[in-house]
Amino acid sequence: MPRLIISDQFLMWSKLFVLWSILSYGITADPLPEDTDGVTFKWQTWRWAMLLRIVVAAVLSYWICHSVIVSAWLATLSSLSSGQALSKCRPGHSVQTLVAKRLVTVYPHPCMHPGSIVSYPTALLWPSAKRPRLLLLTALLSLTPAAVSAQQSHKDANAGLDPIRSYISAGWNTLSRSLSDCATFSDTKLTTEPQLYLPADFPVPESVKQLETRCKIQVKSLPPSAGHLGANAAGSIDPPGLLYLENRYVVPGGRFNEMYGWDSYFIIVGLLRDGRLDLARDMVNNFLFEVEHYGAVLNANRTYYLTRSQPPFLTSMILGVYGAQKAAGHEDRKWLEKAYQLAVKDHSLWVAEPHLAGSTGLSRYFDFGDGPAPESVKDETGHYREVVAFILAHPEVDQSLVVRKGPGQSASPSAGSTYSLQVCDVVRTMAKTDCTVAAGVALSADFYKGDRSMRESGYDISFRFGPYGAGTHHFAPVCLNSLLYKEEKDLEEFSKILGRKEDAEQWHKRAEQRKAAIQKYLWNSERGLFVDYDFVHQAQSSYDYVTTFFPLWAGIASPEQAQALVKHLTTFEQPGGLVMSPYETGGQWDSPYAWAPDQLIADEGLRKYGFNKEADRVSYEFLSTVAENFRRDGTIREKYNAVTRSSETQVTAGYHMNIVGFGWTNGVFLELLHELPAEMVQKLANEQGSSSASTH
Q: Is the dihedral angle over the CA atoms 534, 540, 545, 546 positive or is it negative? A: positive
> What is the helix (H) or strand (E) element at residue 559, kind and residue range?
helix 559-566
In order, the DSSP letters of 272-302 are: HHTT-HHHHHHHHHHHHHHHHHHSS--SBSB
Please name the residues in contact with 613: beta carbons below 8 A apart, sequence gap of 6 or more. none
Nearest-angstrom CA–CA distance, 668 and 623? 9
Q: How far apart, in whole angstroms, are the C-alpha atoms of residue 327 and residue 304?
A: 39
Cα angle vertex 343, ends 337, 346, to 5°?
Answer: 150
In 3D, which of 517, 173, 506 has the Cα closest to residue 362? 517
Phi, psi of 533 (to 5 degrees): -120, 125
Q: Angle CA(534)–CA(537)–CA(540) in degrees, nearest 5?
A: 40
Q: Tell me if residue 460 is catalytic.
A: yes
Mark whether 379 is an active-site residue.
Answer: no
Q: b/e map of 261-300 (b: 16 or more CB within 10 Å)?
A: bbbbbbbbbbbbbbebbebbbbbbbbbbbbbebbbbbbbb
CA angle, 231 then 258 then 585, to 5°? 75
β-pairing, 593-595 with 639-641? antiparallel
Angle, alpha carbons 139-140-143 (nearest 5°)? 95
Phi, psi of 175 (to 5 degrees): -95, 0
How far are the Cα atoms of 406, 499, 500 from residue 495, in angstroms, in the given order? 60, 6, 5
Exactly one of 258, 367, 451, 460 is catalytic; name it. Answer: 460
Q: Which of 187, 290, 628, 638 is catalytic?
A: 638
Cβ atoms of 616 and 606 closer than 8 Å:
no
Active site residues: 460, 638
